[in-house]
Amino acid sequence: MGARETESTGQDGAWETGPDPVRTVRVLVCSPRPSLHRRLVALLQDRVECVSVARTLTEARRHLDKGLHDLALIDTKLGGDRGLDLAEKVAKTTPAIVSAMLGDRAGIDEALGAMRAGATDLIEVTLCEDEMLARIEAACERAHRVRQREARVARLKRLCHQLNNARREVSGHVGELCNDLVDAYRELSGQLEDVSVSTELSSMLRQELDIESLLRTLLEYVLGKVGSTNAAIFLPSTSGEFSLGAYVNYDCPKDAAEVLMDQLADTLAPRFEEQESVLALSGSVELEHYLGESAHWLDESAMLVVSCRQDDECLAVIALFRDKRSAFAENDLKLLQLIADQFAGQLARVIRVHHRHLPKDEWGGFETDDDGFNDIDLAA
């Protein structure tokens, strides 16, 4: 008999034809009776994809464990009336395989036993060929549907696995993007804060065209931002030396503060006039490395020092120092750099105002008189 065709309705309601699903089913006959083997093989040979035979319970289990069949026709006489046990095991362990029982009689008790074992049918071996073939083909169609269902389930599992992998990948990218956005936000916030500080300080300093007022305004601003600290601003003179422009005494002995500041003007300022970025020093070892014998003036202090430069020329040196147990924060370094840049620009403008009647090559530095600004003291 050639391949049959079955009819079904498509999505648009039209009738479609396709290959007979029975032709794609792989059948395993599990029976110890040779006569039943021959009969079923002859009956199904040209109607299903393939027919295999298992003569013992062990052989049947070996075939079924390989998962190469879709329908198992199990004789109730297999393994000394243990065919039902095999059908029950197939239903529990390999649900992709449909089982149907073969028996000498199909009474109510036998049918209930087959149903409880998970078999889809109980077929009497005494039926005529046409009726037996119809029952087996019905079991084959069921096996075909089960196989299609299992294939869909397997496909859905693969898709779920792929989607889960894609989800994890996307989640990773989203996490990286969020981290990048956080970093960008922090960087932008820092830049906006720098712009805000620069704008605020510039607006304050631009109002001061008198050097004494400029120094006072700057030190007040520094104390407001950095907190309690000793601070000194050293200004260069035409002779190339540095003098004390202004200072704040926080914790130095009052009678020795000015002597200390003058000493730092002679030793510290010249060493750092080429220092373009803020340098942080802490403890006697670092201080001695940079200041040599003069380090003893500062004992165990933490210090920030920077040169205020304009057009490759040092216009001032700013130094902040206090006990190293109250060390300066990282933000203080960034703040002092902004202050140095703004202060250098305003100092240059003040110089132009003070010496506007002279040629530029004769401007020189700030000279002090008997009441010079190098005596400004903002300490309490």
Could you state, in order of their start, the residue ranges of all structural domains in the chain?
A: 5-161, 202-377
Q: How far is CA 29 from the centre of its chain?
A: 57
Q: Give the pLDDT of residue 376.
A: 40
Structure confidence at residue 190 (pLDDT): 66
In degrees and rounded to multiples of 5, residue 303 shows phi and psi of -135, 145
- pLDDT for residue 155: 92
Amino acid at 316: A
Phi, psi of 233 (to 5 degrees): -120, 120
pLDDT of residue 368: 40
Secondary structure of residue 150 in the 3-state scheme: helix
Q: Is 232 exposed, middle or buried (0-12, 13-18, 19+ CB in 10 A)?
A: buried
Shared fold status for 5-161 and 202-377: no
Q: Which CATH architecture has domain 5-161?
A: 3-Layer(aba) Sandwich (3.40)
Average pLDDT per 10 consecutive residues for the chain, totaling 380 residues = 41 47 90 92 90 92 90 88 88 90 87 90 90 92 90 91 90 86 77 73 79 89 89 86 90 83 88 88 84 81 90 90 88 89 87 57 44 38
Backbone φ and ψ for 19, nearest 5 degrees, come out as: -65, 150
Q: Which fold has domain 202-377?
A: Beta-Lactamase (3.30.450)
pLDDT score recorded for residue 23: 86
Distances, alpha carbon 311 to alpha carbons 97, 243, 308, 347, in Å: 89, 21, 10, 12
Four-residue CA torsion sign, 55, 57, 59, 61 = positive
Q: Which residues contact 119 (CB under 8 A, 6 or more apart)?
A: 74, 84, 87, 91, 99, 100, 101
Residue 311 zone, left/alpha/beta (φ > 0; ψ -120 to 50; rest): left
pLDDT at 301: 86
pTM attached to this predicted model: 0.50
Query: Other C-beta atoms within 10 Å of 330: how many?
Result: 8
